[in-house]
Structure 1
Amino acid sequence: MQVTLEQWQALVAVVDAGGYAKAAELLGKSQSAVSYAIQKLEGSLNVRVFKLSGRRATLTEAGQTLYRHAKRLLAQAEQTEELAQQFSQGYEAQIRLAMDAIFPSAWMLEVLALFAEQHPHTRIELLETVLSGSDEAVLKRQVDLSISGRVPPGFLGEKLMDVRFIACAHPDHPLHQMNRTLSLEDLRQHRQLVVRDSGSRSVDSGWLGAEQRWTVSDIGTSVLAACKGIGYAWYPVTRIQQALDDGLLKPLPLGNSTERSVELYLILTDGELARPGVCKLASMIHQKVHGH
């Protein structure tokens, strides 16, 4: 005969409550019902779970092992019920999202951590992209929502924020030693650091007129190279604020061309038909951005 979940629950309750009477009170059952459940468990397993120690029932060695197993089993059963409840409410098992690398990753991690507290059984797949990578993921329906600098044809995007870019180099870089407003010709003479488009279309963005150029696939690598004096680049302020504060990077004197701005949009791949979890996560991202 198979042991039921109710019988395992009785075993755990007797141990945790410290006796049959308190376990019965905890479970809202009679003491005889709890005692019968333990007897059925021992009969089904053909093993003694409790032994008398004076006037108290204590776990046998086998009972101790079974108690630990029962605790894990009940925890898994509770998680399964929570998961089923989420699914019954329309919440999905997995959410996939694309995030342009210029979006503050710390903000996204804070949002995902909060979402995970409320929906611990929903798996998250985060795709970090550059330039056309985010909108391409939407076009190919590889993600459920996207933070992108472009809204692909056939989709609607809500403007999320403006990201300010500034041209920077290490304070000791030769461009800073000219002590004057720089021209495009000045920039052409020095190495520019570029982050490769993660999409298949290889879209270019920003001024790319330098004869010398290093292309990398990650903004973090580019920032590190600039901090070492290897080259200059336009960076989102959200990604280099610490380097600016630490004196590792310094804005280049480009006059009115020192800064530029890029718009980021929040796109739901399924639009109004997006599932509840996707909509909730999108709302949390929106609240995070506009709370700053």
Structure 2
Amino acid sequence: MTFTLEQLRGFVAVAEELHFSRAAARLAMTQPPLSRQIQKLERAVDAQLLIRDNRRVTLTAAGEVFLVEARRLLSLAETAPELARRVSSGSSGVVRVGFTAAATYGILGRVLDELADQLPDVDLELAEMVTREQVAALVNEEVDLGLGRPPVDDATFGSRLLHREGLLVAAPAGHPLLALDRAATAADVVREPVIAHSPTQARYFYDLVAGTVPIAHENTVHSVSQVLTMVWLVAAGRGIAFVPESAARLRIEGVGFVRLETAVPKPVELHLLWLRESANPALWRTLDVLEACSPLE
């Protein structure tokens, strides 16, 4: 079955006008070639689409159904070039985004709002994963963009600072640390029972805290990978925890926060991560948009 767009346009014109002469005038052509187009179209689809007599033109049942599809095909033919141009330029398409759980405490929503405003025709598919998983997914081209923790292999990945924040001590309500009128120091917390970051599943935070507070192994009560889990364990009175500043947004009952004194005022970093050789045009437009709002404080 082979037919042309010109034949489809001719059929739609006749079907809407129900008159060959008016349809021909609408198409700026004469009636005989229009009639031939319809005949060729009917032979191509192997069905009678129109009933013609000297007084009127009507659609057959097959013609009614075919009219719906003909309009759809013509619409696709008209929009396809523009869509291809938009996808090629990156203003339309899909960007698959991997993000750490802690990124949802404030920064992820701001990123999504910015992209929705600036690139409304780019669809964002989200996947929660730790940074190690994001790196693997980027290499396997399962995601296009990551919101993860440094460092990464600069030869393979592009990286850009998106957000930085302070480090807090989360403590059970009523704990003496929460009465401090200053930032807590390493000396204030070094002997406290600690809910620690997993050295394998949360390596970034593990190294960051270990470089700030010399926690004795015997003071580690639990090792977990997710900040939310840590805060719930603090609420249960299991110990204190070191969490990013954004964790205070969780507002879990029975938990208070005090800033931890660190050598760098805002040591917790969240980076945009991407594969340098990515062939997704929408990724590059996304990075252009986010560059205008980076880093976010």
TM-score interval, normalised by the smaller of the two chains: 0.5 to 0.7
Aligned to 2:276: 270
Q: Work out whether 1:7 is the aligned partner of 2:3.
A: no
The question of whether the paired residues in 1 share the 8 Å contact of 2:134 and 2:148 is answered with yes
Tell me the CA shift for residue 285 of structure 1: 1.9
- What SS class does the counterpart of residue 212 from structure 1 fall into? strand
Aligned to 1:261: 267
Following superposition of structure 1 onto structure 2, how do residues 185-204 of structure 1 map, counting pairs within 5 Å? Answer: 187-188=192-193, 192=195, 194=197, 204=206
Could you tell me which of 205, 211, 223 is aligned with 2:220?
A: 211
In structure 2, runs of 5+ residues without a counterpart are: none
| Deviations 1:76-135 (CA, angstroms, capped at 9, x unpaired) | 444543454356668997655544444322234335545763456xxx665544354445
- What SS class does the counterpart of residue 271 from structure 2 fall into? strand
Aligned to 2:168: 166
Tell me the CA shift for residue 11 of structure 1: 3.1
- What SS class does the counterpart of residue 48 from structure 2 fall into? coil
Aligned to 2:289: 284
Which amino acid in structure 2 is aligned with residue 278 of structure 1? L
Which structure: larger Rg?
Answer: 2
Following superposition of structure 1 onto structure 2, how do residues 135-146 of structure 1 map, counting pairs within 5 Å? Answer: 144-146=144-146
Q: Is the alpha carbon distance of 1:139 and 1:64 closer, same or farther for their aligned partners in structure 2, counting shifts above 3 Å?
A: closer
Aligned to 1:152: 152
Following superposition of structure 1 onto structure 2, how do residues 1-292 of structure 1 map, counting pairs within 5 Å? Answer: 2-15=2-15, 28-30=27-29, 32=31, 33-51=33-51, 57-78=57-78, 80-86=80-86, 95=95, 97-103=97-103, 104-113=107-116, 117-119=120-122, 126-134=126-134, 144-155=144-155, 157-168=159-170, 173=172, 176=175, 180-181=179-180, 183-184=188-189, 187-188=192-193, 192=195, 194=197, 204-207=206-209, 209=215, 210-213=219-222, 215-216=224-225, 218-219=226-227, 225=232, 229=236, 233-238=241-246, 240-241=248-249, 243-244=250-251, 248=253, 250-253=255-258, 256=261, 261-270=267-276, 276-289=281-294
In structure 1, runs of 5+ residues without a counterpart are: none
Computed over aligned residues only, the root mean square deviation of the Cα atoms, in angstroms, reads 4.7
Tell me the CA shift for residue 66 of structure 1: 1.2
- What SS class does the counterpart of residue 152 from structure 1 fall into? coil
CA–CA separation in structure 1 for the residues paired with 2:227 and 2:19: 61
TM-score w.r.t. structure 2 length? 0.64
Which amino acid in structure 2 is aligned with residue 261 of structure 1? P
Identity %: 22
**How many residue pairs align between the two structures?**
275
- What SS class does the counterpart of residue 165 from structure 2 fall into? strand
